[in-house]
Amino acid sequence: MNAHDVIADLDPKHGVFVNGRGLGTASMFEVHDPATREVIAEISDGTASEATSAVKAAARAFPEWAATAPRARAEILRRAFDLTVADTDRLVALICAENGKPQADARAEVAYAAEFFRWYSEEAVRTEGSYGVSPGGGTRTIVVRKPVGVAALVTPWNFPAAMATRKIAPALAAGCTVVLKPAAETPLTALAVAKLLAAAGVPDGVVNVVPTTDANCVVSSWLSDDHGRKISFTGSTGIGRMLLKQAADRVLNASMELGGNAPFVVTADVDTAAAVEGAMIAKFRGGGQACTAANRFYVHASVADEFVARFGGAIETLRVGPASDPTSQVGPLVSARAAEGVRALIAQATAEGAVIAHQASAPTDGWYVAPTLLTGVRPDAAILRQEVFGPVAPIVIWHNEDELLCWINDTEYGLAAYIYTGRLQDAMRIGESIDAGMVGINRGIVSDPSAPFGGTKQSGLGRESGRDGMREFQETQVLQRGLRMTRQGSWPAAGALNAGYESVRRPDATMRR
């Protein structure tokens, strides 16, 4: 499918999507194809004024959407799943054009993104509370879950469809309305998703999208607006930290999916062929530009030569090229800045003594970085301490498990980790000793719409996906009922009001009775 036709159909000149229609703005910004550096669209650039219109529209739509029967919300989300699947080719064309990832990666992303609509169509009708008896026996406690309110969603460019649906689907299932700010690099896919939701029957004002080049202005205006009650952010730890500080001013409910520095552990008794297969996925999906990407490889000394030879061989045969070539396996990085940053990290690592042991060939135009395997990397090397966000695999050799665990946990991040091993008990022992939110065991991918996704330490707060994902968009309310109400409905005498606590305060007296 031709990306230009798909983009024209979206009408990017009215890219700001508020209350079910496109808004033109005073200025426009350019969206580029990372493979060719060509401008593929000019899109309206949201400002504080459009941000305010969007949050007001979401606030107006909230009471009715929150009161819509869960079954009705579920059926709309289910239709969104069907429409997304039916529209796969169009979404793939958009993702390839603005993100640059290969067609196979984009197709996998659309399938993953669609699954959030299906999973949360099933969860929308499973809002549960509880009913409990107080310890003193005099009170009944009913716990209900309610939508938190208008939610501000901020998403990155690396999964332009899935990062949007992973937030929108649980928010809508819970009864929230949303304002979404996609990354300026990839606004077109988010707009296409919003239009699919409208076609599925989402009422006007429930989903609003404000693409902008001034993220700070748009998001700050949402965080300070009295209508907003929630911020759900996916992006770097630095920006997440800053948004948390802003959210603190209004004590907003906050969910943060932040950066990662995933270790990939290979033990002595591993099936190296399987480990290499997993390593290729964990490292090179999306060109290494995933928060869960394997960032540092720890390989047991006894299998290091074999693993490096096989992994290096697989890397050298990777086909690096534009998404327009259906055989490409690794695309360009998202921007010139990203490509320069990764090349600088390789240069720094080699200056510190690492060796480029294997490398694929890559086109010289566009923002490509050749997939690279580094050996001779010291456990304290700078490249291991930060998110590489590119197709580079530094290998560290380990001998001793205690030392390995110290190296692995010596980071501010705790998002994902991978272990390849022949023995389940080793996987469980090492896995539970790693301070990370997700551990893949003999598997190069940890994301699944049914499983809680998120990190520990500075990789984030809260979880997306699974049942936990919907709870992030709900408040808990308690309704307590005293049993001592008289038959006539009047309250008991003042002295009896604390009777429910009696057995707690005077257990002996209660037992004697």
Tokens of 389: 């966000």
- Which residues have a Cβ under 8 Å from the Cβ of 378 and sit 6 or more positions away? 352, 353, 354, 396
Rg (CA), the chain: 26
Other Cβ atoms closer than 10 A to 425: 8
60-99 residues near ligand NAD, rule: CB under 6 A: none
Nearer to ligand NAD, 121 or 261 (CB): 261
CB 396 within 8 A of CB 307: no
Give me the 255-294 binding string for ligand NAD, x by CB under 6 A, dash otherwise: --xxxx------------------------------x---
CB of 265 to ligand NAD, least distance (A): 20
Catalytic residue among 98, 115, 123, 257: 257
Tokens of 356: 């480029």
Q: What is the dihedral of CA 49, 50, 52, 56, to 10 degrees?
A: 140
- Is 257 considered catalytic here? yes
CB of 277 to ligand NAD, least distance (A): 23
Task: Compute how many residues bind ligand NAD; rule: CB under 6 A.
Answer: 25
CB of 258 to ligand NAD, least distance (A): 5
Residue in 460, 462, 469, 500 binding ligand NAD, rule: CB under 6 A:
460
Tokens of 294: 């394997």
Nearer to ligand NAD, 36 or 220 (CB): 220
342-401 residues near ligand NAD, rule: CB under 6 A: 387
What gap in Å lies between CA 233 and CA 238, rounded to an integer?
12
Strand ranges for 247-368 from DSSP E: 253-257, 262-266, 294-300, 355-359
Nearer to ligand NAD, 278 or 288 (CB): 288
Pick the piece of the chain touching ligand NAD (CB under 6 A) from 53-61, 115-123, 130-138, 232-240.
Answer: 232-240
Nearer to ligand NAD, 219 or 314 (CB): 219
Catalytic residue among 50, 98, 123, 291: 291
Residue among 102, 120, 88 nearest 196 (CA): 88
What gap in Å lies between CA 169 and CA 235, rounded to an integer?
19
Pick the piece of the chain touching ligand NAD (CB under 6 A) from 62-70, 235-243, 301-309, 392-400.
Answer: 235-243
Q: Is 450 helix (H, G, I), strand (E, B) or coil?
A: coil
Q: Which amino acid is at 424?
A: L
Give me the 140-169 binding string for ligand NAD, x by CB under 6 A, dash otherwise: --------------xxxxx----x------
Residue among 34, 15, 25 nearest 100 (CA): 34
- Is 217 considered catalytic here? no
SS3 sequence, 159-176? Answer: CCCHHHHHHHHHHHHHCC
Nearer to ligand NAD, 116 or 307 (CB): 116
199-228 residues near ligand NAD, rule: CB under 6 A: 215-216, 219
Other Cβ atoms closer than 10 A to 208: 29
CB of 163 to ligand NAD, least distance (A): 6
CB 328 within 8 A of CB 322: yes
Residue in 6, 164, 180, 184 binding ligand NAD, rule: CB under 6 A:
184
Binding of residue 171 to ligand NAD (CB under 6 A) = no
CB 242 within 8 A of CB 230: no
Residue among 460, 7, 482, 4 nearest 236 (CA): 460
What gap in Å lies between CA 127 and CA 170, rounded to an integer?
11
CB of 358 to ligand NAD, least distance (A): 25
Positions marked catalytic: 257, 291
User: For binding to ligand NAD (CB under 6 A), which residues are involved?
Assistant: 154-158, 163, 181, 183-184, 215-216, 219, 234-236, 239, 243, 257-260, 291, 387, 415, 460
